Amino acid sequence: MNKKINDIIAKKNKSKIVSLTAYSKNIAQIIDKYVDMTLVGDSVASVLYNYNTTRKISLDAMIEHAKSVRMGVHNSLMVFDMPYNTYKDKKNALLNAKKIIKKTKSDAVKLEGGSKIKDIVKHLIKNKIPVLGHLGIMPQSVRGKFKSKGKTDSERTKILKDAKVLEKLGVFAIVLECIEKSLAKKITNEVKVPTIGIGSSVYCDGQILVTDDLIGLTNSKIKFVKKYINISGNIATAVKKFKQEVKLKKYPTKKYSY
């Protein structure tokens, strides 16, 4: 198996896994120095294209983003989030996964789902495509409001079972999205592969966030989003300064002219 994947697996119970999304080379090359995993997430659909669902992003659009990201990723594991309808059945999933890996040189793919997609996950892994699982809120299946998971006994039983199914199939890690903390803890304790949480408490083996949220490029009000910097403010300051200098003919000076 890919060394970077083995390194991620080896972090379980030793060191937290740090992961973020990237949709372009410029962001990828900044985060790559600090993260273990870079995800070309289908969240690009809402973050950059303003779609009301991740279902609307096409495979080809995501491939273009991933090609850009690839140019900035040299250290971390690069994972491609397979968009809606690209893993409908075993044949379609393998064809698309091969296309993704050939065109973007991604190290692995991520699929949303558990038992329901077990044959597809199994088929990809059998064909040497490393798979990252994703349970809890699965945005490709949500219609309407997102609700956290693991509040009822039946939901908890189903998610835990799905995590064990994915583990058995050979996924190298599982993203847990918005799962109630005691369930996230239980899954993390009971499966051997790392869990990577997003809104699923500190008990996961690692954390992932959407970079645009973390740097304050979006206006996300989601509970788990922590803004570590307000980059929009910095951009606005630079743009205002540029505007002022252009108006006052202070830019470009001799230094910036031919």
Q: Token pair 């059945």 is at which residue?
A: 89
25 vs 251 by CB, closer to ligand KIV: 25
30 vs 251 by CB, closer to ligand KIV: 30
Give the CA distances from residue 126 to residues 57, 112, 169, in Å, rounded to whole numbers and listed in that order: 27, 18, 9
**CB count, 10 Å around CB of 241?**
12
Contacts (Cβ under 8 Å, ≥6 apart) of 92 = 86
53 vs 238 by CB, closer to ligand KIV: 53
21 vs 104 by CB, closer to ligand KIV: 21
Is there a catalytic annotation at residue 177? Answer: yes
222 vs 246 by CB, closer to ligand KIV: 222
Do 72 and 93 contact (CB within 8 A), yes or no? no
Of these residues, 64, 112, 155, 177, which one is catalytic? 177
Any alpha helices (H) in the chain, and if so which ranges?
A: 3-10, 25-31, 44-47, 59-70, 90-104, 118-126, 153-169, 181-190, 211-214, 231-247
Any alpha helices (H) in 2-89, and if so which ranges?
A: 3-10, 25-31, 44-47, 59-70
> What torsion do the CA atoms of 72, 66, 68, 24 make, to the nearest 10 degrees?
-80
Contacts (Cβ under 8 Å, ≥6 apart) of 148 = 136, 137, 178, 179, 180, 199
Three-state secondary structure call for residue 47? helix
Enumerate binding residues for ligand KIV (CB under 6 A): 21, 39, 41-43, 81, 175, 198, 208, 210
- Closest residue to ligand KIV: CB criterion: 41
Residues carrying an active site annotation: 177
